[in-house]
Amino acid sequence: MDQLTALKLFTRIIDVGTISGAGQTMGMSSTASSKAIQDLEATLGVRLLNRSTRQVAVTEAGQHLFQRIGGLLGDLDKALQEAGALQDEPVGQLRVTARRSFALTHILPALPRFRTTYPRLDVALTLTEVLDITPNEEADLVIRLGMPSQKSFIAHELASSERLLCASPAYLNRKGMPSDPQSLAAHDCLCYRQGYEPALWLFETPDGTIEVPVSGPLVSNSGEALLAAAREGLGLVVLPRWLLSGDIQRGALVHCLPALPVHPAGYNAATYAVHARGDFVPTKVTVFIDYLIDRMKSSVAASAALD
């Protein structure tokens, strides 16, 4: 028997008053209980209990040991119970690092209802424009574009890779609806770009992929900035469906060239929730992912109704 169990038995004996009675509370026979105490005394090299046929009495060494470990074992049991609760019930704090556009569009609006369902779970949300983010000592969960290459992570798809070409009614009234990808040369295009990436939009046509160089009055690494500019009639924009569907539904934006799938060069990945692989994934992580997946399914269904 391990020493920790033997120490727990020892403290239980002092509470109960007999070795056999204490052993029963721990599912142990009288013989096993007596041997456990004998082995503990042999290991420590000191007698802890004076035994008689009816009762046991604590020695001075036993009393000293009990005073030192009684509270410690109680704290240990409490800590183990709390650790188990973290696995069984979503409590504590969930640290999430997410792509800014997705967080503002889907995570923040979901939090009030999520908190009503799980009132003991707080969320620490960090927003980022960095692409290659992974869970680390500062994040239990990340929301990112594309699956990580490392096998030490598990990815759950939240939103597809679909992008849409859109513009406001005011812009289309002024500049006209694009007739085909090549006609974009005469249009103002709002480009998502980081650093020195090429300003290219790729269209999938029956004849293959067409790369269209685009230009316009605004280049940004922020999807929200481009979306706001498109709403104001500044130009055409290509952004994820999950970011545009609300504006399309309200009539603030119009889907252009809907028969041709399109994406900016280098940005054709789905959006994933990613956490570390392990035998015990915290419940707080799994319930948050499940909640987001359900929310995105509802969003996709509403968006599909627009097509």
Using CA atoms, how far apart are residues 285 and 89, in angstroms rounded to an integer? 11
For residue 148, what are the domain limits? 93-157+270-304
- Positions in the chain whose pLDDT score sits under 70: 1, 52-54, 70, 72-88, 300-307
Average pLDDT across the chain, whole number? 86
Q: Do 189 and 251 share a domain, yes or no?
A: yes
CATH of the domain at 290: 3.40.190.10
Q: Do 146 and 172 share a domain, yes or no?
A: no
Give the model confidence (pLDDT) of 28-83 as tens digits. 777 887 788 788 778 878 787 887 656 787 787 777 777 777 676 666 666 555 55
Contacts 24+ apart (CB under 8 A), 125-132: 125/96, 125/97, 125/98, 126/95, 126/96, 126/97, 126/98, 127/97, 127/98, 127/99, 127/100, 127/103, 128/97, 128/98, 128/99, 128/100, 129/99, 129/100, 129/194, 129/221, 129/222, 131/194
Q: Do 189 and 256 share a domain, yes or no?
A: yes
How many folded domains does the chain comprise?
3
Q: Do 75 and 213 share a domain, yes or no?
A: no
Q: What pLDDT, on the 0 to 100 scale, is given for residue 75? A: 64
Q: Do 168 and 260 share a domain, yes or no?
A: yes
What burial letters (b/e) apply to 18-44, b meaning 16+ CB within 10 Å? ebeebbeeeebeeeebbebbeebbeee
Q: Do 242 and 293 share a domain, yes or no?
A: no
Q: Do 150 and 281 share a domain, yes or no?
A: yes
Question: Which of 49, 68, 88 is at the close of a domain?
Answer: 88
Q: Do 193 and 285 share a domain, yes or no?
A: no
Using CA atoms, how far apart are residues 129 and 295, in angstroms rounded to an integer? 22
Q: Do 147 and 116 share a domain, yes or no?
A: yes
**Alpha helix (H) residue ranges in the chain:** 3-16, 19-25, 30-44, 60-88, 100-102, 108-117, 169-175, 223-231, 241-250, 283-304
State both tokens at 215: 């230009």
Using CA atoms, how far apart are residues 152 and 148, in angstroms rounded to an integer? 9
Q: What pLDDT, on the 0 to 100 scale, is given for residue 288? A: 95
Q: What pLDDT, on the 0 to 100 scale, is given for residue 96? A: 96
Q: Do 132 and 276 share a domain, yes or no?
A: yes
Q: What pLDDT, on the 0 to 100 scale, is given for residue 82? A: 54
Give the chain's length. Answer: 307
Q: Do 44 and 134 share a domain, yes or no?
A: no
